[in-house]
Amino acid sequence: MANDIVLETEALSKHWGGIKALNDISLQFHDRQLHGVVGPNGAGKSTLLNMLCGSLKPTSGCIFHKGERIDTLKPWKFVRRGIGRSFQKTNIYPEATCIENCAISAQRRFGGNFNLFVSRHSNKLVRKAAEQALAQVGLESRSDTVAAEISYGEQRQLEIAMVLATDPCILLLDEPMAGMGHEESQRIIELLKELKQTYCIVLVEHDMDAIFELSDQLTVLDNGRHLITGTVDEVRNDPRVKEAYLGAEEDDAEEEAA
């Protein structure tokens, strides 16, 4: 368990002027585990994810991938190391078909990205990888539908399929269940259960039931600070978490009672 750390942050901070969006975060993410990240709005969850995928540079601190420092690399190099992310707001190619969306993500690793003359459809490997990614999330039937025309829930699934098509080893998922109905959420939960057998997943999610059900490790952030990391039970029973998360509610209740 100790040696399979694939991603690690050391004293990671992000400051916007005087505002400390994230302060002194040291975390370890393990292979084949789902690491949940929760916290109230503005806790710094998305900031953390944006730094882990390279799109945001930390103010201070480092990120290590398999022991190598990566926070200084260009964002697109993160993906080449196998760090893939999905976005909180659906971020797909709306005018392209679902299969084409996945083909765009899959194509990079097969080369020929600067091949100007051969038709894009002639490469079987890209096609196969894209089909496989769609199948993984259960969207095979939507293959030739334009992405803008599928349902919102399906778009969220497509979003994950696009990350899978990049052949990552680490998945950074930013609220994959945001805005989904119960049934759709359930499908994503089943999918994530399956995926965590093979990938390291960092999951930011507001749906508490889902995150309690899925997480092997759970980190709670509050106001940019790292509150606690532990198993679901450890976190649940921690008094500090109750204070940060539920405390406000209890106070309200007490006030109301009084």
Partner 1 sequence: MIFEKRTERILVPMFFMVALFLPLFLESNSFFVGKVTTIIILSIFVMSLDFLVGRVGLITLGHALFYGLGGYLFVILAPEYEAVNFWIYTFYICGISALIALITGAVVLRTTGIYFIMITLAISQMMFYYFFDSLEFGGDDGVFIFMKPETSIFGLSFLNLDDPQHFYYLTLFSLFNTLVFFKVVLRSRFGRIVEATKQNPDRTEALGYNIFIFRLACYVIGSTLGAYAGFLFALQYGFVNPSFLAWEMSGTALVMSILGGLGTIYGAILGTFTYEGLQYLFEHLTEEWLLFMGSAIILMVIVLRKGIAGYLEKLLEK
Distance CA 248, CA 24 (A): 25
Q: How many residues does the chain have?
A: 258
Distance CA 212, CA 217 (A): 10
Q: Using the rule CB under 8 A, give the single segment among 6-14, 79-87, 202-210, 221-229 that binds partner 1.
A: 79-87
Number of residues that bind partner 1 (CB under 8 A): 36
Interaction of residue 118 with partner 1, rule CB under 8 A: yes
| Residue from 88, 154, 89 nearest 143 by CA | 154
Interaction of residue 119 with partner 1, rule CB under 8 A: yes
Interaction of residue 93 with partner 1, rule CB under 8 A: yes
Distance CA 153, CA 134 (A): 14
Minimum gap (Å) between residue 96 Cβ and partner 1: 7
Q: Using the rule CB under 8 A, give the single segment among 58-66, 96-104, 196-204, 246-254 that binds partner 1.
A: 96-104
> Contacting partner 1 (CB under 8 A), which of 96, 169, 228, 232?
96
Distance CA 62, CA 172 (A): 17
Minimum gap (Å) between residue 71 Cβ and partner 1: 16
Interaction of residue 130 with partner 1, rule CB under 8 A: no
- C-beta closer to partner 1: residue 103 or 191: 103
Half-sphere exposure in the Cβ direction for 107 (13 Å, CA):
15
Q: Using the rule CB under 8 A, give the single segment among 70-78, 129-137, 174-182, 203-211 that binds partner 1.
A: 70-78
Distance CA 127, CA 145 (A): 15
Tokens representing 192 are 């994530």
Minimum gap (Å) between residue 114 Cβ and partner 1: 5
Distance CA 256, CA 258 (A): 5
Interaction of residue 136 with partner 1, rule CB under 8 A: no
Distance CA 47, CA 13 (A): 10
Tokens representing 202 are 């960092």
> Contacting partner 1 (CB under 8 A), which of 41, 117, 182, 183?
117
Distance CA 225, CA 4 (A): 25
Interaction of residue 199 with partner 1, rule CB under 8 A: no
Q: Which residues sit at the interface with partner 1, rule CB under 8 A?
A: 53, 55, 74-80, 85, 87, 91-96, 100, 103-105, 107-108, 112-120, 123, 126, 162, 166
